[in-house]
Structure 1
C-alpha cells in the first residue's frame, strides 16, 4: 500500500500546509547525493543534444512559495497559462513558478525566469492533481507561449512502456552543492495495478466526523496506479512522466516516491484523470475550487466541481473553456500544426465534415455541397491589422476542380460593420500529393474580428497540415514555442536542435538553432525549415546572426524552391556573434525550404534572429530586348533568365536587365545589366525585366 502519510519521515513536512489545510502534505526538496549516469538521474543540460528531451525540459518548471525559499514541487505546463502539479504539495493560493535553462554545457550558465501563479482547482482527496493559472511576464509573454507546453496523451498504458521525466532538486556533489538542478530521468512502467491514497474512488470519499470535511482517511483504494522505475526525490513530487516515443504527458503529477533519492514513482495516468478525476465541492476549510481566482478569468466557478472532463472529450474542461473564451495570445508567429487536441479545439468547423488527427498532425476536410462557404475557420488568434503571410500544406484526395480550397483572412470593418476578406484559391490537383501554398493578406487599420478562413465552393476531400500565420516583419528568433516548432533535421526528418544559447543567452533565456555536423550524412543539411511562408514569385533577403560552438567550423545555408536552389550563402562562424545576409533572390514557387549545413569542421554552430526582408520585384518581359544603358555584361552558367534577374537585383546601380539566349552572342547565355530602363523592342531570343 502506498500512502502519502508514509512520506513523513525525512522528505515531507506534515501538519499545516501553506494554505492552512491540515490534511494537505507539503513536500519540500531534498538534495540528490550524486548524478546517476545514462539518463537515470542526470542534469538535463547533458541531454540538450536530444531535441525532444530539451523541448520537454523547457516546459517543466519548479515552484516555491512567494518570496523565495526552497523548491516545494515540480510541475508541467500544459498550455499557454495552465500548469499542473501535485495537490499534496499544498495548494497555496499563490506561488512562484521558476523556469530554468542552461546557456552552456555546464552548471555555470543557469538562466532563471519566474512567473506568478494562482491555484484554480484540485482533485484532492480522491486523487492528486492541482491546476494553476500562471500570468504573463512584464513583457506580456505567457509562460507556455515562451517556454512551451506538453500535450496530454490519454491512451491506456502497459507495463514496459518507456517513459521519462524532467524535475528539479539541489545536487550535493560536486561541492559546493548546486541549488535547483533540472534532472532528466528515464525508465519504464513497472505496474498499472498499484493502489494507494491517491487511487481513491471519488464515490467513496467520506466526510470525517471529527472535522466535518472530506479526507483521504476515508478512502476506497483501487488497483489503478501507475508505477515506474524512474529515479525520484522529494521535490520531484508534481512532475509528470512523458512517453519516450510521443513526448506527450501520459502519467500525471508524481504523488509518491518509494525510495528517496532512488528508483520508484507512483501516480495516476492522465487517462485515469480524464476518466474520473473529480473536484470535490464539499470542502469548506480548503475549497477545491478557488472561486475568486476562476471568476477573475471570466469563468463561472460552479461549472468546475465534479469531473475534470464532464463532456468526455479528453480535455480538462476549465482549460478548454478558458482558451475558447480568450483565444491565443496576440503575437507575430503562429504555428498551427494540428498536433494538439487543446489547440485544435479552438478551430470552428464550417459546412463540411472536419476530422483532426493529432498523430500525423493533419486535419481532413470532406465537403459534399456547393456554394462558397467556410469549411474551417479560426477566430481566436486575436490577430491585429497589418500584413500577414499564411502558409499551408494541402493533399487533395478529390476535388471538382484543381483549385477547390480558398485560404485567407476575413474581418469586419469597425465603422461600417461590413465583412471583407482577402486570400486566394490553392491550386492542388487531386492525387498529386502534398503541396505547399502561401498567401499574403493586408488587413486595414479599422478591421476587427480578424479570422483565418479555409473555404470552398465545390465537393472536396482534402488533408491540411502545417498552417502558419506570420506577421510581416516578425523575427524568427526561436524565443517562442511556435518559432521553435518547425525546425527539422533534413537528413532524417527528426526534430531540429533548438537550444538556449542565443545572442542574449549570457543574460537571459534566449534560444538559437544548433547546426551540427552529421557523420552519417556529411554532405546533408542537418537543419531546415519549410514554414517561412515565402510567396512564390517574390524576392527576399534572409539575414541572421551566427556563432561557433566548435572551432574550425564553416557554415552554409541555401533556399530551395521546389527543389531548385535559389540562393547559397557561406559564412565562417567565430567565437562572437556575427550578422550576415544572403544575396537578393527570387523564389519561384510557394514551396520553399530554408536549410543550414556544415561546409567545414565536425562540430556545431548556432543561428539566431532570422529576418525575412522583402525586396523589390521585377516586371518580366519575355520576347523583349531593351538595348542601351548598359553597366556590365557577362556569360551565365546556365540558360536561365532568372540568373540575370538575380544579378541585377544584387547590383545596387542596376534597375533593368536583358537576357540573351545561347547562340546569339556566343555559345552560352549572356546577361546585360542596365542603370536605366531603355525603350523596348520585340525579339524572341531575349527576355528583359525592370524593377517595379
Structure 2
C-alpha cells in the first residue's frame, strides 16, 4: 500500500491527464480522419453518421462546484447515457448536434442526472437523460448505440469471446466533442486509428488500490486515436460493425493541442469487473487524496425523481442496494440499473416501433418461449424458432396449442389509435402461415389470428405484443414493426432511420442508408432526410435508399413524398421511385436543387405479403437528392378495399 502522500500526488497527476477536468482546445482541426469535424464523414460512412447523432457534449450544471467541466457522452438507450466517472457525478446538460452544412449546426439540449458511477476504482458513469418538452426521449429522437458483445443463445454474455473482439491493430474510431478555436464554436469531431495495446496499465483498471495503477490488473486498452480535452467519456467503435468496443475514455494526450494517444477499458471488462461501493458513504478504501471529488456512488436523488414518475427500479425502495458490486450481475450484457429502469419505463409512446433484435438492451426487455431465442449472425440479431419435429418426421403436423415466440409488454401504445403490425420472417410456408399475434393484455391462449392478410384495428392502453406459432417447423424472424396506419416516414426518430438500407432485402442493419439533417423543416430545428446517391454496378442503376419494412395493409394506395437536390447541381435531374410488391410500380420524377417538390405514385398495387420501397437516380455521377415525409394514403380506396377489424399485414 502506498503512503497517503503518494496517493495524493498520484490523483493530482490523474487530474492533469483526465482532460475532462479542464477543457483543452485544439488550435486547428486535423483533417483526413485524425481530428476533423464529423460532418466530413456524412458522405463517407453512413454508420459513423448515424452514431454521431447519439453523441453529446456533456456539461456540469453546477459550474460553481465543478467549473469548466465538459466531457463527451453517448446515448446507449432511450434515456441512458454513458460518460466517464471522472467527469464528476452531478446534474448535466447534454447538447446533441447535427450538421446542416460544414459550418451550420442544429442543436438540442436535454437535462440529465447521474444514476451511478465507479470513481475512483474505475471510470464508468451512467446517466438518465429526461425527455424534452415535447415528451421525446433523447435516445428515441437522436438515436443510441449498441455494444460489440458476443451474446449466447441463452442470453448470457460470453466474456472471453467478447474480449477477443478487442485486438491489436484493429481499426477503431471515436466521435467526441471539443471547441475549435481556428473555426470557432463547439464541434463534434471524428478520429480514427488502431488499438495498440490490450494489456495496458491504467488507473481505472480493477484491482489493488483505487487510486493507483501500479497494483491493478493490466487489462487497459491503448490506441493511437487522437484525443484531447472534451474527448473524456467518449466511446470508441469498431470500424467494421459500428458498435462500441471500448468504455468511456479515461486518459487522452496531455498535449494542449491534442495528440494520437488514448487509454481506457474494454466495455466487457468494465461490466464484469467494475464495482459500485456503498451509496451513502464514501468508499472506506479510498485514500485521502481521492476523497470528496464525487457524490455518492448511487444517486438516490435521481432514483427518487424517477420513482415519483412511476419509473421504479424495484417494488421496494430500500432495494437500491442491489446495485452495489458489479454492474451486470445477471451477465446479459446490459447494465443492471439500465435494464430495470427501462423495463419500468417501457418504450416511449410513438407512432412507429421497430424491433430488429440487433440491440441487446431491447432484447432483454422481451420474454421468449423455450423454443425461441435470439441468435446472432455477426452483429445482426434475429429470433430463431426451433424445429420441434422428430428426426424421422418430414411433415409439419402442427401443434395442438400455440408455442410462445416473443412477448413485449412495454409498448405504451396510444389507446385512441389503431395499429398495424408487420413481421419479417423466413421459413416454410406452413411456419409463416402459422404465426399468430395478440396485441392487448393477452395471454398465450389468446393467440389472435394469422399474420397473413390480417390487420388489427384497435388496442387498449398499455397494450403489449405477443407472437406465437402453431407450427412445429423452424423459422426465423428478422424484425417486428408496430405502427399507426397514418405514420409519416420522416426519418426523425432512431427507429425511422434504422429501417432504411443501401441494399435490397433484409436485414436493414447490414448496410445502413445515408441519412442527413436535410429535412423539410430544418429551419425550425433538426429534421432528417434520407439521401439518395448515384450508384452504379456494371452500368446498372443501384437503388441506394431502400426499406422492405413499411406495412401497407391495403391492396391499392397512393404513395407521396418530397424530394430536393442537395449537391448544388444546376438544372433538373431525374429520380426513380420503385415499389416492389408482387408486381413492380415505378415512377420517374424531376428534382430541383434547393426546392422541395411533392411526388405521388397513385394507384400502386400492393401484394398482401409485404412491399419494398426503393429510391434511386440515373442522374450524373455524384448527384444526390433528399427524400422526406413519405406518406401512404388509402384515401379513395378505403371504402372498397379496407381490411376488416382483426386483420394484420404480413411480410
- Give the TM-score, by structure 1 length: 0.77
* 1:85-136 CA-partner distances (Å, limit 9, x unpaired): 01111112x11000011112x11x1111000000110011211001100000
Distance 1:595 1:458, change over 3 A: closer
CA contact (8 A) 1:567 1:583 kept: no
> How far did residue 453 of structure 1 move?
1.8
Are 2:626 and 1:606 equivalent residues in the alignment? yes
Secondary structure of 1:314's aligned partner: coil
The equivalences for 1:70-85 within 5 A come to: 72-85=70-83
Secondary structure of 1:387's aligned partner: coil
Q: Which moved more, 1:386-395 or 1:184-193?
A: 386-395
What is the match of residue 24 of structure 2? Answer: 30
* 1:45-70 CA-partner distances (Å, limit 9, x unpaired): 01101211101100111111238885
Secondary structure of 1:262's aligned partner: coil
> How far did residue 593 of structure 1 move?
1.0
- Give the TM-score, by structure 2 length: 0.82
> How far did residue 344 of structure 1 move?
0.8
CA contact (8 A) 2:357 2:374 kept: no
Secondary structure of 1:442's aligned partner: coil
Secondary structure of 2:433's aligned partner: coil
CA contact (8 A) 1:121 1:288 kept: yes
What is the match of residue 132 of structure 1? Answer: 127
What is the match of residue 388 of structure 1? Answer: 419
Secondary structure of 1:296's aligned partner: helix
What are structure 1's unaligned runs of at least 5 residues?
13-25, 206-214, 427-437, 621-644, 646-692
> How far did residue 545 of structure 1 move?
1.6
- Tell me, in whole angstroms, the C-alpha distance in 2 between the residues paired with 1:10 and 1:188: 21
CA contact (8 A) 1:11 1:29 kept: no
Distance 1:554 1:402, change over 3 A: closer
Distance 1:9 1:451, change over 3 A: closer
Cα root mean square deviation, aligned: 2.8
The equivalences for 1:290-369 within 5 A come to: 290-297=299-306, 298-299=312-313, 300-350=319-369, 352-357=371-376, 359-366=379-386, 368=388
> How far did residue 507 of structure 1 move?
3.1
CA contact (8 A) 1:11 1:30 kept: no
Please point out which of 88, 95, 98 is paired with 2:86: 88
Please point out which of 193, 214, 223 is paired with 1:187: 193
The equivalences for 1:191-206 within 5 A come to: 191-201=197-207, 204-205=208-209
What is the match of residue 256 of structure 1? Answer: 251
Please point out which of 163, 171, 175 is paired with 1:166: 175
What is the match of residue 112 of structure 1? Answer: 107
> How far did residue 420 of structure 1 move?
6.6
Are 2:406 and 1:370 equivalent residues in the alignment? no
Secondary structure of 2:176's aligned partner: strand
> How far did residue 306 of structure 1 move?
0.8
CA contact (8 A) 1:79 1:144 kept: yes
Secondary structure of 1:198's aligned partner: coil
The equivalences for 1:500-579 within 5 A come to: 500-520=517-537, 523-535=541-553, 538-550=555-567, 551=569, 552=571, 553-562=573-582, 564-579=583-598
Are 2:469 and 1:456 equivalent residues in the alignment? yes
* 1:498-550 CA-partner distances (Å, limit 9, x unpaired): 00111122231110001111244552212111111123x52111111211113
> Over alpha carbons, which structure has the higher Rg?
1
> How far did residue 6 of structure 1 move?
2.8
Q: Which moved more, 1:336-345 or 1:300-309?
A: 300-309
Distance 1:597 1:543, change over 3 A: same
- Tell me, in whole angstroms, the C-alpha distance in 2 between the residues paired with 1:288 and 1:559: 54
Secondary structure of 2:587's aligned partner: strand
The equivalences for 1:213-228 within 5 A come to: 216=211, 220-228=215-223
Distance 1:147 1:470, change over 3 A: same
* 1:192-211 CA-partner distances (Å, limit 9, x unpaired): 1111211131xx34xxxxxx
Higher percent of residues as helix: 2
Q: Which moved more, 1:585-594 or 1:49-58?
A: 585-594
